[in-house]
Amino acid sequence: MSDPYDHSPEAGYLYNRAEQELNQAQQAIHPAAVKAHYLLAGYYLDRVYGSPESASAPPIASYTASSTGSETASGLE
């Protein structure tokens, strides 16, 4: 039986990026930032451990600044 996990150099990079995103999620204060970091970590881990069909991620939420200086997010549900 073959090994189902990817052990390529790219997989190592993606795994490290997932760890970085998890650390950033734990340090983030704003709930939208926490969610974004966890989503990114999940996408990186899907690229390492998931099937090829799960490797394509939906677009990341876009942020716009309002005239009051506050940020609003679209695409986060």
Rg (CA), the chain: 15
**Structure-block tokens of residue 68:** 């009051």
User: pTM, whole model, 2 decimals?
Assistant: 0.59
Given this model, what pLDDT does residue 10 score?
87
For residue range 40-69, list pLDDT tens digits in order. 999 999 988 875 555 555 555 544 444 444
CA gap 42, 47 in Å, rounded = 9
Q: What is the DSSP letter of 61?
A: P
